[in-house]
Amino acid sequence: MKKRLLSILLASLMLISCSKSDEAPIELSNKEKVVALLTSLETGDQKPVSYINPNKYIQHNLAVADGLEGFGALLQNAPEGGFKAKVVRTYQDGDYVFAHTEYDFFGDKVGFDVFRFENDLIVEHWDNLLEKKAPNPSGHTQTDGPTEVKDLDKTEVNKSLVKDFVSTILMKGELDKLANYFDGDNYIQHNPAIGDGLSGLEEALEEMAEQGISMVYSKNHIVFGEGNFVLSISEGTFADEPTSYYDLFRIENGKIAEHWDVMEPILPESEWKNENGKFNF
């Protein structure tokens, strides 16, 4: 059954890419294409595969082979009952669309996906996945909270704020400047292990230090944003293990108001199924 699904998928893609339809195509935004593609993991709808460039699909999930063949093999190895995907929020920055999604993907997970478009087709994909956890000490889940984009005219200012925060606080560790980025203790936290406010963050850092657990951000690769939502992608180590950090921030009145994140260990190179690297934006 799974082999048949893969054959149908690839055959359908070839027909879509090689033939012309007499029907006028329905124009979807790139955000809508991403939502449709992710949702198709659950529905089995084959149409969204046509939103991927059949001749160029660069894969940065190190556990998945490159190109459409890798995507097809992933579907072929789906567990009984298939995958499930619920897209919670999507945002766009130029040719990039980033999504925050709840998955049943070899177990319940939460993830961020980033897709790059060329000529309205997806040509590149990055992601970060983490097991779904119980609500944090303040009762927030990994995905709840606002989704609406506001302050589009402040996108670049908000991106600069996050870049500076990541550089100053997360990379350089200048914690004496922490209050510069927040409105007092008004800070909503969705990390499953940390409570709200700067007080919750400081408490978590102290507990990690007592346990000898280090969290190091060594390089910020890129920052995407749309209005009041900004996604920062970095690498470093957690408990001395190579780690990829995806941090989503909501900005309000020039301050960080809310935070969601996904931390994922980086596979050792001997286990990579493609040679594109985890980052390489």
Domains of the chain: 2-132 (3.10.450.50), 152-265 (3.10.450.50)
pLDDT at 25: 58
pLDDT at 113: 98
Q: What whole-number percentage of the chain has pLDDT above 70?
A: 91
Residue 260 pLDDT > 80, yes or no?
Answer: yes
- Mean pLDDT score, 185-197: 95
- Mean pLDDT score, 252-269: 98
Contact 70, 59 (CB under 8 A): yes
Residue 5 pLDDT > 50, yes or no?
Answer: no
Contact 99, 85 (CB under 8 A): no
Give the range among 74-88, 152-166, 246-260 with minimum mean pLDDT.
74-88
- Mean pLDDT score, 36-40: 95
pLDDT at 204: 83
- Mean pLDDT score, 213-223: 95
Distance of CA 247 to the CA centre of its chain: 9
- Choose between 175 and 240: higher pLDDT: 240
Cα(158)–Cα(218) distance, rounded to whole angstroms?
22
Residue 8 pLDDT > 70, yes or no?
Answer: no
pLDDT at 3: 43
> Which token pair is 204?
């978590």
Backbone φ/ψ region at 220: left (φ over 0), alpha (ψ -120 to 50), beta: beta
Q: What is the mean pLDDT of the chain?
A: 90
Give the global pTM.
0.90
pLDDT at 206: 82
Residue 249 pLDDT > 80, yes or no?
Answer: yes
